[in-house]
Amino acid sequence: MANDREVLREIWDGKLPVCFQLDQEEIMEIQQPDPFYVMVPRLSYFPLVIDKMKRHFLRYISQENADNEMWMDYNGQPLKWHYPIGFLYDLYCGNDPQTPWTLTVHFSKFPGNILLHCPNKDVVEAHYMSTVKEADVLKHRGQIMSAMQKKDHNQLWLGLQNDKFDQFWAINRRLMESHGDNDGFKHIPIRIYAEDGTCTQRLISPKNIDGSRKIIQQLITELYPEKPVKLRTHGITIPLDTPLQWLSEHLSYPDNFLHICVC
């Protein structure tokens, strides 16, 4: 179980400075809007942290676009709101860190062939809960999530949404336990993304065939036999001797998946 509380706390407290700028084409006023600076939790999702930014820019845009769905890009790359913010930063800026992270805000030309629609925060919650559920299917055949009550599910979500570490971990710790005599999850919920954003998902056991703990080095050899790669998450290059089970318990995002970038 997730025992290294300091690590959990450190990961939870990770923040990114972001600078939002309104797309020049959207500006309908003579006066240019100031950029909007904010510190955002790495573990959160953009739709949960951009209400103020949206209000800041609304009065500069054409009123006919005011009810449109807002979206953002980094260097022309539309940002997928359904991934945690810190993961998106690692994916696009991991090799060349820049702070503040400068993003462009749009109120028109929503790229519906790339981005999911997000009309309200309920959609974020539904997406989050279904991802936690999927992770639990991989770890415990879904038994922990289905044994929980609705109020526990709510507490997870509210803990994340309101940045309440204790509230969140009071529930999440149950999802991080392994059961029976078998010390470890059935499979590790892990998604590994190439630089172009394409994702590899495999059924990964936390153990080797001989029953020993599988470490990152062994995972890399398994997935990338031709050339060794480095893996990054939460802005950290993962040490090669890290056991997968420990990684899953401590460095998973709140959706209970490890989101890892190849670098």
Partner 1 sequence: MAYELTAEGFLSSAKAFIETSNLLHDDWILYENLDICKSYIQKNTFINVKGQLFKTEFVIFYHLSYGVPTFSFNIWDSTGTILNLEDIRKISFTEINQKDFYSVITQQEHPVLCRPFFIMHPCHTYQLLSSLSESKNIIVTFLGLITPLINLQLSSKYGL
* Minimum CB distance to partner 1 smaller for 130 or for 182: 130
* Minimum CB distance to partner 1 smaller for 33 or for 84: 84
* Minimum CB distance to partner 1 smaller for 39 or for 116: 116
**Residues between 114 and 173 that touch partner 1 (CB under 8 A):** 114-117, 126-127, 130, 133-135, 137-138, 142
* Minimum CB distance to partner 1 smaller for 112 or for 228: 112
Q: Which of 54, 82, 164, 173 binds partner 1 (CB under 8 A)?
A: 82
Q: How far is the CB of 155 from partner 1 (least distance, A)?
A: 21
Residue 51 token pair: 């209400």
Number of residues forming the site for partner 1 (CB under 8 A)? 25
Q: How far is the CB of 244 from partner 1 (least distance, A)?
A: 16
Report if residue 78 touches partner 1, rule: CB under 8 A: no
User: How far apart are alpha carbons 93 and 47 in whole angstroms?
Assistant: 20
Between 170 and 209, how does the x/- string for binding to partner 1 read (CB under 8 A)? Answer: -------------------x-------xxxxxxx------
Candidates 178, 132, 180; CA nearest to 152 is 132
Residues that bind partner 1 (CB under 8 A): 80, 82, 112-117, 126-127, 130, 133-135, 137-138, 142, 189, 197-203
